[in-house]
Structure 1
Amino acid sequence: MTEKVMAAIDGSQFSQAVCDCAAWASLALEVPLTFLHVNDNHAAPSEQDLSGNLSLGAREHLMEELSRLDEERARVAQEQGRLMLQSAKERATEYGVNAAGTRQRNGTLVETLEELQDETRLLVLGKRGEGVDQASEHLGSNLERVIRTLHRPILMVPDSFNRPEKVLMAFDGNRTTRKGVELLARSPLFEGVTVHVLIVGADLADNRAQLEWALETLRGAGHEAEGAIRAGEVESTLHAYQQEQGIDMLVMGAYGHSRIRHLLVGSTTTDMLRRTRIPLLLLR
């Protein structure tokens, strides 16, 4: 089965950025691109029960009318989804992608993505869905559930996307982040991109050795690489470094390493997801 860049789109303000980011990733990775739109069959507001004081005939008529309205709503949602997918495909073609695929499913986004993850090399999706556009510090609940469920790299996109030139890897020297450095080093997604590695912690010999390993790994793969060790609180230190260096994409592990890691997104990751204004690649 051919692995693809899978891009989840909806009616939110983030979908254009998702299209552009997914097109860039598809071209860089040289893998096909598929746009996915899911009609959430649990998302429609429940109908108020108006039948209690009606006669049998009136109740039957009301149920038939509600059923007809549900069918019409489903038809409209299907057509809206088709138009979104067609628009996304046209935008990807303008970006240089040939023959992007489209899929429309009924169900929930998380369940659909879980079904498709065997053919997903990279998932691209917006920071929030169409229901929470205006809540700038609110993290879309779908995004959190997707991160908990999927075992594929996830690229979260804010409301605009530009091809990255400087990438920051949040690194702490543990096995997961060392694998992240190795993955980043060999990924064609970051060819020609300057990679920064930041350890948030004390400037100790062990941290200096870990940083040197990361930089040697990246430079050995042909990357221009820079690094630093900074003391401070993780989220604010990463943000300050990003601003200082003009970083335009952040790479992090999706979980901490506590016993509840399989139940909750790591708190640092959640904070960065909520506040970041640049794309964030989460490695699983």
Structure 2
Amino acid sequence: MSEPQTEQGKSAMSEIQIPEMTGKVLACVDDSVYAEAVCDYAAWTAGRMNTQLSLLHVLDKNEGTTAQNLSGSLGLGAQENLMQELAELDQQRSKLEMEKGKLMLQAAMLRVEEKGIVNAESRQRHGELVDTLIELEPETRILVVGKRGADTESAHGHIGSHLESIIRALHKPILIAQQSFAPPKQIMIAYDGSATMRKGIHIAAASPFGRGIPHHVVMVGADTDVARAQLQEATDVMTKAGFEVTGAIIPGDADIALAEYQERENIDLMVMGAYGHSRIRQLILGSTTTAMIKRTKISLLVLR
């Protein structure tokens, strides 16, 4: 968690400017075990926020590509014939991957329609996933992704190969779904007094996303007067917005303490800020955000 907030920082709580939250719920659909939960969470979120749902499948430009440079290992004639056959095979595989993606999108559309979403759209794109999401960021209100994609879905205790890059690249809320979905009954905000989370508290208070759901605002660290003042300001924002709020300061390392609190209090969804320190410092000290994504067994809403 970040360093204690200064008096100047505390007084800035009421001066925080909250950007207008517009755009679509964008959900990344693939063939991983997280796909159904992504659809369910995206449908639930779009319904709560009364906004359009867009289902996206990105066909990686490298998928299905197997052609290699065979010079020197084959005779010239054989090489020419084989390279032509490989090119034709790659083209067939690309078409199959495209059709597979279309079928996944069709299944996803049916699933969200069963959840009551009638105006969803589906899109298939070619290229790098992160680049595509950056391109679509201006029209995105919140992104929903699985914790891991199909290429790393069995790597328990790790995060997907694209996930960290997505969190660093985008400046919109990112909902990271686990393998199963149930409407959250309790939400925990991991609060640290940082600028990101001061703004995050105001966003949470103003958004219909968590309206009517009890919230826990939790700080990790020493129970000091400064920490109590920070926590009180945060819980006041939520209380004045009509939320049922529980505030807590707990000791320990952030990733371990927050995970233990979540299990003890039966929290269904955690909200936290993303990568509050410089990239160089993270390489040396690690990141609480990454540690929480790896450790937690519930879905996470990551704010930028």
TM class, shorter-length? over 0.9
- Structure 2 residue 222 is matched with structure 1 residue 202: yes
User: Which AA in structure 1 matches 2:245?
Assistant: A
Q: Which residue of 2 aligns with 1:11?
A: 31
TM-score (normalizing by structure 2): 0.89
Change (3 A) 1:119 1:214: same
Change (3 A) 1:26 1:265: farther
Q: Which residue of 2 aligns with 1:260?
A: 280
Q: CA deviation at 1:270?
A: 0.4
User: Which AA in structure 1 matches 2:300?
Assistant: L
CA distance in 2, matches of 1:64, 1:46: 12
| Residues 27-106 of structure 1: pairs in structure 2 closer than 5 A | 27-44=47-64, 46-106=66-126
Match of 2:263 among 209, 233, 243: 243
Q: CA deviation at 1:266?
A: 6.1
Q: Deviations over 1:114-172 (max 9, x none)?
A: 11000110000000010112111121110011011111110000111111111111111
Specify every segment of 5 or more residues in structure 1 that has no aligned partner in the other structure, as ranges. none
RMSD between aligned residues: 1.8
CA distance in 1, matches of 2:155, 2:28: 20
Q: Give the % identical residues.
A: 49
User: Which AA in structure 2 matches 1:42?
Assistant: N
Q: Is contact 1:128-1:140 (8 Å) kept?
A: yes
Q: Deviations over 1:170-195 (max 9, x none)?
A: 11122221111111111100011111
CA distance in 2, matches of 1:243, 1:201: 19
Q: Which residue of 2 aligns with 1:186?
A: 206
- How many residues end up aligned between the 2 structures? 283
User: Which AA in structure 2 matches 1:268?
Assistant: T
Three-state SS of the structure 2 residue aligned to 1:260 is helix
CA distance in 1, matches of 2:74, 2:248: 72
CA distance in 2, matches of 1:170, 1:266: 18
Match of 2:169 among 149, 159, 169: 149
Q: Which residue of 2 aligns with 1:221?
A: 241
Three-state SS of the structure 1 residue aligned to 2:280 is coil
Q: Which residue of 1 aligns with 2:8?
A: none
Q: CA deviation at 1:52?
A: 2.6
Specify every segment of 5 or more residues in structure 2 that has no aligned partner in the other structure, as ranges. 1-21
Three-state SS of the structure 1 residue aligned to 2:203 is helix
Q: Is contact 1:126-1:156 (8 Å) kept?
A: yes
CA distance in 2, matches of 1:53, 1:244: 62
Select between 2-11 and 46-55 the one with higher mean Cα deviation. 46-55
- Structure 2 residue 44 is matched with structure 1 residue 24: yes
Q: Is contact 2:67-2:83 (8 Å) kept?
A: no
CA distance in 2, matches of 1:78, 1:264: 41
Three-state SS of the structure 2 residue aligned to 1:36 is strand
Q: Which residue of 2 aligns with 1:172?
A: 192
CA distance in 1, matches of 2:290, 2:165: 12
Match of 1:110 among 127, 130, 147: 130
